[in-house]
Amino acid sequence: MKIFITGGAGYIGSYVAYLLRNQDYEIAIFDNLENGHRWALKDSRFYFGDLRNFNQILDAIYDFKPDAIMHFAAYIKVEESVNDPYKYYENNVLGSLNLIKAALLNKVKYFIFSSTAAVYGIPKNIPVSENETCMPINPYGQSKLMVENILKDISKSSFLKFGILRYFNVAGADVKAKLGQANKKPTHLITRVLRAALGKIPYIEIYGTDYPTKDGTCIRDYIHIKDLAQAHIDVLNYIKEEDKSDIFNVGYGKGYSVKEIIDIAKKITKIDFPVKVGKRRKGDPPILIANAEKLKKLTNWEPKYNKIETIIEDAWEWEKYLNSNPTLFEY
């Protein structure tokens, strides 16, 4: 089966590409390398292009003739989306529309879309299931929900079948595969905590200790990149075998607070890095935990790396590897 991967030079896309190749799929990557890295492509077939340019994406899909598309390319920073919503709607929504049009013109039947728990906004029910009302509270979440809705409508009026994956908090890496997140200015908690342990940032700031949670800090459901990546393949198999479209949460159903993550990271790294308490960050829901029963029940997916220690240990190995290979920050 031939799979076309947008954003395949990025953190998640590159790891899904790696798994697909190990499982004997034929793949091609499309990426503008704005946030992705050339080294993450390995020696995959590569189309350099930007989704906002319809002809570039049409030509690539016409040339590769895939059976399925996995769409990862998007901007992902919540705060930036609040300050520059146009940038998010243009890349994430217009870019996806161009891609879907190219898929329809080339009769690509299966479309796997990388979505986010940010589509729920501040959910009423925890753990949150796929049936929860979607009310995003920032343009990033809004842009992902718009694409979900576009896919729903288009699949009703065409042959297209979609699988939507709503990710919770993705973390971890695979040092053996030499793949992980390489961001000069990371915003994610686990990466920042480990950069503080390495002394790359002077301290870790806790964004708010006055949330209605057991220790006052926000709770998240962290999922290992290895399990998250495999979920894409399992969902693709499901929509293909069942010949239907569906939406899945991807998480473990277990939450950890910011303080808990810091404590576990101190144990794993054996470094007592400085921690400061700061103000709340805008737009952070207090608790986000997935109900991921649907994914486990309907597809072959089973969590394999779901110990928080494994996630943080693997992320730590990766941060040390990055630290000793500074050229990885350049493409």
| Contact residues for ligand UDP, defined by CB under 6 A | 169, 187-189, 192, 204-207, 218, 220, 258, 281, 284
| Cα(66)–Cα(104) distance, integer angstroms | 12
Please report, for residues 40, 68, 316, 328, 329, the alpha-carbon distance to residue 74 in angstroms, rounded to integers and kept in the order given.
Answer: 17, 18, 26, 21, 19
In terms of CB distance, is 165 or 218 closer to ligand UDP?
218
Task: Tell me the residue nearest to ligand UDP as measured from the CB.
Answer: 218
CB 5 within 8 Å of CB 17:
yes
Minimum CB distance to ligand UDP, residue 281 (Å): 5
Nearer to ligand UDP by C-beta: 98 or 142? Answer: 142
Measured from the CB of residue 225, what is the shortest distance to ligand UDP in angstroms?
Answer: 13
Query: Using an 8 Å Cβ cutoff, are 194 and 265 in contact?
Result: yes
Q: Are 63 and 117 in contact (CB under 8 A)?
A: no
Segments of the chain assigned E as strands: 2-6, 26-31, 45-48, 68-71, 110-116, 161-167, 169-171, 204-207, 219-220, 222-224, 246-250, 256-257, 275-278, 287-288
Instruction: Report residue 242 as tokens.
Output: 């069942």
* Residue 164 φ/ψ, nearest 5 degrees: -105, 130
* Residue 75 bears catalytic tag: no
User: Which residue is catalytic, options 75, 120, 140, 222?
Assistant: 140
Please say which residue, 189 or 197, places its beta carbon nearer to ligand UDP. 189
> By C-beta, is 192 or 254 nearer to ligand UDP?
192
- Give min distance, CB of 254 to ligand UDP, in A: 15
Query: In angstroms, what is the minimal distance from the CB of 9 to ligand UDP?
Result: 21
Q: So which residues are the catalytic ones?
A: 140
